Amino acid sequence: MTDHYRHGGPEGQEPIQQPVGGAYPPPPPYAPAPPHAPAGPAHAAPARARRPVALLVAVALAAAAIGGGAATAVQQLTNGQGTSSAGVSGTGIAQSSKGTVAGVAQAVTPSIVEISATGSGGKSTGSGVIITGDGEIVTNNHVIAGASSVKVRLSDGTTYDAKVVGTDPGKDLALIKLNGAKGLKAATLGDSSKVRVGDQVVAIGSPEGLTGTVTSGIVSALDRDVTVSKDEGGPRQDPRQGWPFEFGGQQFNGDTGDSKTTYKALQTDASLNPGNSGGALINMNGEIIGINSAMYSPSSSGGSNAGSVGLGFAIPVDTVKADLAGLRSGGDR
C-alpha cells in the first residue's frame, strides 16, 4: 500500500491511506441506526424527504439573523409566546368604512338631490344639498335663476315641488324649500378653512340627470378667483353644456355675459360634469366643504363641450354658512 499526501500539503503531513483499487467504498443509502436502536425494519426517511426540513431551518435562521426586529415585533404581538392563538386587535379602518369613498358616498348620498328648474328661458338641471330635515336645500343661483317651477328628486326617487326662498347672485348661491317635507337626512356642514391642497374629496351630484353620481379626487388648489354670470334673466343655456365661467382672464364653456360675479373657489380634480352644479364637495369625514359650481370643459371639434378634464371649482362651505341667514330672509331677490 502506497502512502499519498493531500494535494499541495506540506511535507511531513499525515499520509492518507488509499484503499486497494483506488476508490473508497460508496456511502450507505441512509445513516446507520443508532447503537441502541431496537431491532426491526428501518423507518428512516429518505434523504430527499428530509432536505426541505433542513432548507426551512436554514431559511428561518437566515431570517432571524437579518430581521431580528421583525422577530421582536412578532414576539410582542403574541405577548412573548411562540403561538398566535391570542390574536391581534384590528384597527378602526378594518372595522369601519369611515374614511373611504364608499363610506362617504353611503353616508351623504341621501342628502344630495337633483333639481329641475323650468322658466321662460328653458329648463336647467342641477343638484342641491339638504341642510335641514324639513327640506331646506342649498344650490347654485344659476341652477334656479328665473325659474317659475322647481321640482326636486331625492336619492330614493321621491319627488317634491319646491319654492325659492332666497338667492344671492353675487355668491352664486340659492336656498330652496321643499313643500311638505319632513324627516329628511340633512348633510353636515364642515369647515372649509381647514381644507388643504392634496386633501382627498368626494363629489356627489346629478350630471346629465344621472342622480347620485359619485366621483372622487383631491383638492388641487385653494382661493381660485372664478367669475361666473349672475344669469338674472333665467336659465337659457342647454343643460348639456358646462356653465360659463371665467378664469385667468379667459372665458370657458360659453359667454358669461355682462352681469358677472367673482368668488374665491376650491379647485378639485374630482370629475364634474353638467348637472353637478349645486352638488356637494365632501371631505373624508363626510362633511360638506363646498358647493360645486363650475367646471372647465374644452369645446370639441363639433362645437359642443366635452366632459370633465379635472378642473372643477366649488364655493367654500364657510361662504355658504355665512350667507344662510341672508338667504333665509330672501337674499337679494
3-class state of residue 16 by DSSP: strand
For 285, other C-beta atoms within 10 Å of its C-beta total: 13
For 234, other C-beta atoms within 10 Å of its C-beta total: 17
Cell of 305: 363641450
16-17 vs 3-4, strand pairing mode? antiparallel
Type and span of the H or E element at 75: helix 68-77
Catalytic residue among 277, 293, 297, 308: 277
How far, in Å, CA of 277 to CA of 294, rounded?
A: 7
State yes or no: is 277 an active-site residue.
Answer: yes
Catalytic residue among 124, 142, 216, 271: 142
State yes or no: is 4 an active-site residue.
Answer: no
How far, in Å, CA of 2 to CA of 22, rounded?
A: 11
Catalytic residue among 127, 168, 172, 192: 172
Strand partners, 17: 3
State yes or no: is 172 an active-site residue.
Answer: yes
Q: What are the two backbone dihedrals, phi and then psi, of residue 111, each rounded to the nearest 5 degrees?
A: -95, 0
How far, in Å, CA of 193 to CA of 23, rounded?
A: 89
Residues annotated as catalytic (active site), given as ranges: 142, 172, 277
